[in-house]
Amino acid sequence: MVCLVFWADTLQLWHLPLIDRFDNAIYDGQVRSQVHRNLPDPRVVILDIDEKSLASEALGRWPWSRDKMSVLVDRLFDDYGVAVLSFDVVFSEPDLSSGLQTLNRLASGPLKGNSAFKESLDLLSAELDFDGRFESKISAKPIVMGYYFSSSIDSGRSGHLPAPALLDGDLVGLSTSFPAWQGYGANLARFADAALVAGHFNPVVDIDGVVRRVPALVKFDGDYYESLALATLRLFWAVQESPTVKSLRLPGIQAFAANGQTQGPLEYLQIGDRLLPVDKGANIYVPYNGPAGSIPYFSMLDLLEKKIDPGALRDKIVIVGTTAPGLLDLRATPVSGIYPGVEIHANVVAALLNAETETGVWHRPQWLIGVEGITLILIGTVLLGLLPWLSPGWSAALTAVVFSAILASAELLWQAGLVSHLASMGLLVGCLFVLNMAYGFFVEARSKRQFTKLFGQYVPPELVAQMAENPEKYSMQGRRKNLTVLFSDIRGFTSISEHLTPTELAQFINEYLTCMSQVIRDHGGTLDKYIGDAIMAFWGAPVDRPKHALMGVKAALAMNSEITRLRSEFKDRGWPDLMVGIGLSSGDMTVGDMGSQVRKAYTVMGDAVNLGSRLEGITRHYGVCILVPERTVDECPEIIFREIDTVRVKGKEEPVTIYEPVCLKEALTPELESELVDWDEARQKVKAQDFSGALNSLRSMLTKYGSDIRLELFIERVELLHNSQPSADWDGTTRFDTK
């Protein structure tokens, strides 16, 4: 289907704007690469109605009076000896600046009987008839008049069109595609009839607003009218053959298909013995020589004041136009975003003059369109046959080779003077590559879904997708690995459940578990299971986490912050106070797929796991939320810890020093640091059995930092030790015989 779309566009069965834009961008780049390689024909110059001329007192604002135009025409032909003069302007209204009409009304009105007035008027009429004087100059000189067509629905028809260059029957048998024009703006009839030839100065404005072509012929009301450039060339070639205007014979225009045939798509216009390649709409690709100014410009004011070198215009084609922004003849072109319209036509004239029998303008013949269509089918067939069987690397390499070949072909054709539209091929190659990659992606995604379905019942869902990226790296088989495990549990949950309705209890536990689970996931943990209100999670498997202990402790701190927030929200609802204990432990554990034939789970087991569970259970005895063993502390240098006690938990005879994580190092404040120092001093006194000194230090902390449950429980324990006075061999450990 994709191939058919691009193929239809290549064969011009329909046009896709996106493809046209790519083709235009490629064409513009080729034009810019070509500029300055060939110098424009020196026989073409532009006479500029520039800002300097419009600002001068001698000429004034546009339009200038026809007597001034007559002076300028005489100056060009008599003083400078130009060959042909073309006007890229329209003289559509009579010149009333002389006052002749007013004088004629007086002669036929109030002064009708005044013979002296009538006699003087007869003597002055010829001098004051500015349009008549200008008309006589047009008829006596090789001058090309300009006019334009309009495609707007509400366009009017002003002025008088010249005789058409070709009639409707002259293109019978040729396949053409001319746009519809609704109206025109032409010169006064007296000027149009006086001129030897006239041409329209319409460009072809593409969808992006850029002028790349000009129509050599325009079809209007069944007949064909030539462009200003074509009319100028025909007149210039006639001037080369005949010395006088009266004997001028303009070369005729004939239209042909390829190879001089009169049947088939329009491809050439023949002017005398010269061939002009065109497209089906008789459009010419503008052979830009460079940015604005590549064709020589001369100011109208300088001409009037004779400041131009006498030899600069001799035997030249002079095209009158404007670069003044206020006269609205600036266009966007491939070589510049602001380009005078007159220079577009001057470029065409200069290029057509550069060749004697066949022009050097670019061409897009019909055979090239056919070759592009066949090539596109071949490329599509080859890629469709090969890409599905190649690896991504080889697919990318093949795509790059084909794409490079397309670019090289475009450059070779361009150097041969042929305009290729290879965007369809390039886009086809890109689309087939993307579709092939997308197909491979979806096939891989299907395999990943199968992997997810297979292992999803064992592995926590949040890690299945990550594992599916490289399934060969992961195994559900049990293995020994260094991990960190976390247990959390709500304290007094039985009492809480007694004070809430079933609906409230469900809402209570759902909000709590959701919040805690999200924190664990956000910190890269594997959510193992829920055990009532308890949560079990671990870090480091099945995805390796080198800093699993740090991730686990950060998660516990974040959980504590969320618990504080939830406690406030639950209190506002009238629910019981939320207190949670969290225990972590790091060490070697067995991780893998464990269970029975009825049900299995991906979980962890081992002594370190049991220690984490025991630490969660004893958090209430110390008035803290989180407890971790010394091994976890050693793996978290980024965290500030408070030493709490040395304990023997149930089922483990080896004493374990336990700590409370306080904060990240960067969050440590001077006040908190001072409190931790005082705490450690009290701990050291307890270890040295200086219970009296420890009590003094702890009571001083109460005064200094205020009371909290952790400090109060510590004081109770020290008071108990002080009163019982343990034996001299006491090792400072606290034994827990229950979970």
pLDDT at 16 over 80: no
Q: What DSSP letter does each residue of 626-666 carry, written as one string?
A: EEEEHHHHHT-TTEEEEEEEEEE-TT--S-EEEEEEEEEGG
Reported as type and span, the H/E element at residue 569 is helix 548-572
Q: Are residues 402 and 446 in the same domain?
A: yes
Which range, 12-21, 58-67, 443-452, is most confident?
58-67
* Structure tokens belonging to residue 65: 């009076």
Q: Do strands 264-265 and 183-185 pair parallel, antiparallel, or not at all (unpaired)?
A: unpaired
Mean of the per-residue pLDDT values of the chain: 84
pLDDT at 172 over 50: yes
Q: Are residues 241 and 348 in the same domain?
A: yes
Q: How far apart are CA 623 and CA 642, in angstroms?
A: 13
> How many domains are there within the chain?
4
Question: Would residue 738 count as lying in a domain?
Answer: no
Question: Would residue 694 count as lying in a domain?
Answer: yes
Question: Would residue 19 count as lying in a domain?
Answer: yes
Percentages of the chain per state (helix, strand, coil), in multiples of 5: 45, 20, 30
Instruction: Please count the helices (runs of H) and the strands (runs of E) in the chain.
Output: 23, 29
Reported as type and span, the H/E element at residue 116 is helix 115-128
Phi, psi (degrees; rounded to nearest 5) at 609: -65, -45
Q: Are residues 164 and 111 in the same domain?
A: yes
Q: How far apart are CA 682 and CA 737, in angstroms?
A: 26
Instruction: Confirm if 122 and 64 have CB atoms less than 8 A apart.
Output: no
Provide CB contacts within 8 A for 425, sequence distance 6+.
Answer: 6, 10, 372, 375, 376, 379, 406
Considering the entire predicted model, what is its pTM? 0.60
* Structure tokens belonging to residue 104: 């004629």
Q: Are residues 12 and 46 in the same domain?
A: no
Q: Are residues 254 and 401 in the same domain?
A: no
pLDDT at 709 over 50: yes
pLDDT at residue 248, as a whole number:
83
pLDDT at 596 over 80: no
pLDDT at 601 over 90: no
CA distances from 58 to 53, 55, 69, 72, 154 (A): 8, 9, 12, 12, 38
Provide CB contacts within 8 A for 53, sequence distance 6+.
Answer: 59, 299, 300, 301, 304
Question: Would residue 463 count as lying in a domain?
Answer: no
Beta pairing partners, 184: 149, 157
Q: Are residues 147 and 207 in the same domain?
A: yes
Question: Would residue 462 count as lying in a domain?
Answer: no
Q: How far apart are CA 162 and CA 231, in angstroms?
A: 11
Range of the domain at 602: 472-667
Question: Would residue 461 count as lying in a domain?
Answer: no
Q: Are residues 257 and 379 in the same domain?
A: no
By CB atoms closer than 10 A (0-12, 13-18, 19+), residue 236 is: buried
Give the residue from 645, 667, 689 where a domain finishes: 667
Give the model's confidence band at 129: pLDDT under 50 very low, under 70 low, under 90 confident, else very high.
Answer: confident
pLDDT tens for 389-435 read 777 778 788 788 888 888 888 888 888 888 888 777 777 777 777 77
CA distances from 604 to 253, 541, 574, 623, 651 (A): 93, 9, 38, 28, 18
CA angle 578, 583, 587 (to 5 degrees): 165
Instruction: Report which of 359, 208, 162 is spatially closest to residue 270, judged by C-alpha positions.
Output: 359
pLDDT tens for 539-582 read 998 888 899 999 999 999 999 999 999 999 999 999 999 999 99
Q: How far apart are CA 69 and CA 133, in angstroms?
A: 9
Q: Are residues 411 and 524 in the same domain?
A: no
Q: Which stretch of 113-117, 356-360, 645-649, 662-666 has the lowest confidence by average pLDDT? A: 356-360
What CATH number should be reported for the domain holding residue 585? 3.30.70.1230
According to DSSP, residue 168 is labeled G
According to DSSP, residue 79 is labeled I
Instruction: Confirm if 425 and 379 have CB atoms less than 8 A apart.
Output: yes
Reported as type and span, the H/E element at residue 358 is none
Q: Are residues 83 and 99 in the same domain?
A: yes
pLDDT at residue 351, as a whole number:
85
Per-residue buried b or exposed e for 613-648, using 16+ beta carbons within 10 Å of the residue's own CB: bbbbbbbbbbbbbbbbbebbbebbeebbbbbbbbbb
Give the model's confidence band at 684: pLDDT under 50 very low, under 70 low, under 90 confident, else very high.
Answer: very high
Instruction: Confirm if 85 and 70 have CB atoms less than 8 A apart.
Output: no
Instruction: Report which of 125, 132, 137, 133 is spatially closest to residue 101, judged by C-alpha positions.
Output: 125
Q: Are residues 657 and 598 in the same domain?
A: yes
Q: How many CB atoms lie within 10 A of CB 709?
A: 12
Question: Would residue 533 count as lying in a domain?
Answer: yes
pLDDT at residue 9, as a whole number:
44
601 or 45: which leads in pLDDT: 45
Question: Would residue 737 count as lying in a domain?
Answer: no
* Structure tokens belonging to residue 36: 């300055």
pLDDT at 145 over 90: yes
Instruction: Over range 208-220, report the average pLDDT.
Output: 92
E strands in 116-252: 143-150, 157-158, 174-175, 183-185, 197-200, 204-205, 211-215, 217-220, 223-226
Q: How many CB atoms lie within 10 A of CB 371?
A: 15
Give the dihedral sign, CA 191/197/201/204: positive
Q: What DSSP letter does each residue of 393-423 carry, written as one string?
A: HHHHHHHHHHHHHHHHHHHHHHHTTB----H
Q: How far apart are CA 95 and CA 191, in angstroms?
A: 12
CA distances from 331 to 36, 45, 79, 218, 552 (A): 20, 19, 33, 20, 67
Give the residue from 353, 379, 410 where a domain finishes: 353
Q: Are residues 341 and 425 in the same domain?
A: no
Q: Are residues 651 and 723 in the same domain?
A: no
* Structure tokens belonging to residue 418: 């042929």
Instruction: Confirm if 713 and 622 have CB atoms less than 8 A apart.
Output: yes
End-to-end Cα distance, the chain: 69
Name residue, tokens 């293109």. 171
Q: How far apart are CA 646 and CA 630, in angstroms?
A: 10
Q: Do strands 84-87 and 143-150 pair parallel, antiparallel, or not at all (unpaired)?
A: parallel
Instruction: Report which of 656, 654, 578, 646 is spatially closest to residue 612, judged by C-alpha positions.
Output: 656
